[in-house]
Chains A and B, each alone.
Chain A
């Protein structure tokens, strides 16, 4: 009750405003696509497909949002994902157990997170350089493990991969008259769990609140008695852990490892975080926004395909244009608000 009363006096925070804009644009865009292109966009399966394809991207973007809120950047996430996929597939093909492969995935992610976090927060090296080196290392290790594509041939894993959650009341009737139920892969569930966990962490846990404080102003956070170094360290550990999880989810989606897996994923993840309203300057952002950022990016790509622009360059040109639009919008909105605050 109190909240609604105070609503007028207390305007939206920057985080909430940027997130709201993104969600509105996503919903508007999807509705427009439904009206114009009909076809696939009318089926619920379209949304689930988008989720299925992007489960690992969502997880990675969550990690990146955490790091970006604390004024950092982590560009090693895509490469770590690829490294995890390769090592897990090789391990499974050697007859390893599924449980241990999950542990391997988590372990690799944690190891990257800990080393990078230590170098960045305790040795005060620029995050860009450290994670760039991390990216090079992970990509190089992936090719050292195997240059050739590897297919996972493990029974338990195949079963896990085949397991799909069927949502019966959201199916559609195919052309042959059969009812095709909507399917969601297990990876999506993992992704949504990660999303929820990170959301709760950022909103209610002391670590999350400290992270916002550090992103807003590191020196005043230090004076408030926040352990800046440890918090930043932990943010990178979280990001590393999430890229490990993302690697496993990626493997569940593709079922095979390739040296070029998840190429460019780090930039996609950064783009989704930005579209979702996270600022690289820190202190502003939310994983819910990041989720909608990922969905917006995917929807743009789907719309480009549906609208018949089949030439291979249009997808990334429109993505770039969209990114430009969002970035400009954020800049204009925030500078307007800053001016109002001053006046």
Chain B
């Protein structure tokens, strides 16, 4: 027992050190600042359902889209050594498709919602394939390849609905976007859990995780070992496409309308940040999905903490930037090795003393 706990401390949490430290710091800060930050109560929403409410719930709830996107982005980052900066734009396209299908169907029933969601998935996967082809087949750096969709994605979303911001309303959509009657947990949170479980199962039953890592660490070595490098890269973008569709649909259901300009605005930056805070190398290779998910919650927690401190929503970015810089400086290889060196020196100084005592 003791040995195990020691090994955790010495080996560290590995990759998860930074995100866990970040969350611990934020929790500590909030505890000192205002312990009532963590209070969770039960209130009744407009429909008369008993639902959970509180800062923690709103953090977990509003980080849902980010967490889903971060999971897909981790795969792309690991396989291609680059990031997709078009996720926000692609989510707007998926959301627009979702609304378009719902609007064309007449009355909204469970079946039409499912059809609309599937359609959104297909469209998002198509755009994912487009990005993936550019990256995997034409060997263009991911950031540049996805810059194309970043520039024109939101305009395509605008074009799909013919220049309007249509609204859709139905009890089913509110159920997906906020709460299902009788269940106190916000539905987006449940969706995140489902997506995470699916990822876990896929990694458990297929060799996707191993293949992705080997492609990211050394593409040509992976190819010589018989791994289809192009296919894995393409697949990672298609999986990200699915995540984008899920995130886009959650976003639409939350608001009940599609606004191509503001849906998941700037989410691509937050997503990449979540992946980085999660301790994943942005240069590809080894990855942990759990790190990215924690990273997403760190970002959202930071944002909500700042809101709770009465920082206006436009100013949040500046404070966020400072925290990000502090986090990445702590996690930077140079600082880490300095710190380790310091620790080793201290230990070396201690060792002779105990040795003498033993004699």
| Chain A interface residues (CB < 8 Å from chain B) | 73, 119, 122-126, 128-130, 132-137, 139-141, 143-144, 147, 259, 267, 270-271, 274, 280-281, 311-317, 319-321, 323-324, 327-328, 331-332, 335
Contact = CB atoms under 8 A, between A and B. Distances in A.
Nearest to A297: B151
B147 A122 contact: no
A140 B315 contact: yes
A126 B82 CA distance: 11
Interface in B129-167: 134, 138-141, 143-145, 147-156, 158-159, 163
A126 to B, nearest CB: 5
Contact of A317 (B134, B139, B155): B155
B29 interface: no
Contacts of A129: 272-273, 276, 282, 324, 328
B197 interface: no
Interface of B is mostly: helix
A55 B324 CA distance: 32
Given A123-B332, A128-B83, A130-B328, A140 B144 contact: no
A312 B144 CA distance: 24
A123 B154 contact: no
Name which of A122, A129, A274 has the most chain B CB atoms within 10 A of its CB. A129
Given A130-B325, A134-B321, A327 B143 contact: no
A328 B324 contact: no
Contact of B332 (A125, A274, A314): A125
Given A132-B269, A136-B317, A124 B143 contact: no
Contact of B318 (A137, A314, A335): A137
Nearest to B331: A125
A125 B144 CA distance: 21
5 contacts: A128-B282, A129-B328, A130-B325, A267-B147, A271-B151
B335 interface: yes
Given A129-B324, A130-B328, A328 B138 contact: yes
Contact of A144 (B154, B318, B328): B318
Nearest to B139: A331
B320 interface: yes
B314 A259 contact: yes
A132 B268 CA distance: 11
Contact of B314 (A143, A281, A316, A331): A143
Given A132-B273, A313-B159, A327-B145, A147 B314 contact: yes
A144 B272 CA distance: 25
B321 A123 contact: no
A44 to B, nearest CB: 29
B1 interface: no
A332 B140 CA distance: 10
Contacts of B140: 327-328, 331
Across the A-B interface, give the 8 residue pairs with the lowest CB-CB distance, nearest first.
Answer: A140-B318, A320-B152, A137-B321, A140-B317, A313-B155, A136-B321, A143-B314, A136-B317
Contacts of A135: 269, 321
B319 interface: yes
A141 B311 CA distance: 12
A139 B329 CA distance: 21
Interface of B: 83, 134, 138-141, 143-145, 147-156, 158-159, 163, 269, 272-273, 276, 282-283, 312, 314-322, 324-325, 328-329, 332-335
A136 B272 CA distance: 14
Contacts of B83: 128
A320 B90 CA distance: 13
A136 B324 contact: yes
A315 to B, nearest CB: 8
Contacts of A313: 155-156, 158-159, 163
Nearest to B325: A133
Contacts of A280: 141, 143-144
Contact of A133 (B282, B316, B328, B334): B328
Nearest to B137: A331
A327 B333 contact: no
A312 B165 CA distance: 14
Contacts of A144: 315, 318
A122 B334 contact: yes
Contacts of B328: 119, 125-126, 129-130, 133
Contacts of A73: 143
A327 B156 contact: no
Given A124-B332, A313-B158, A335 B272 contact: no
Contacts of A259: 314
Contacts of B272: 128-129, 132
B321 A133 contact: yes
B160 to A, nearest CB: 9
A109 B228 CA distance: 46
B281 to A, nearest CB: 8
Nearest to A320: B152
Contacts of A137: 317-318, 321-322, 325
A323 to B, nearest CB: 5
A137 B141 CA distance: 27
A328 B139 CA distance: 10
B13 to A, nearest CB: 20
A52 B247 CA distance: 41
A183 B102 CA distance: 53
Given A124-B333, A124-B334, A331-B139, A316 B316 contact: no
Contacts of B283: 126
Contacts of B150: 267
A313 B269 CA distance: 23
Contacts of A126: 276, 282-283, 328
Given A129-B276, A147-B314, A267-B147, A316 B152 contact: yes
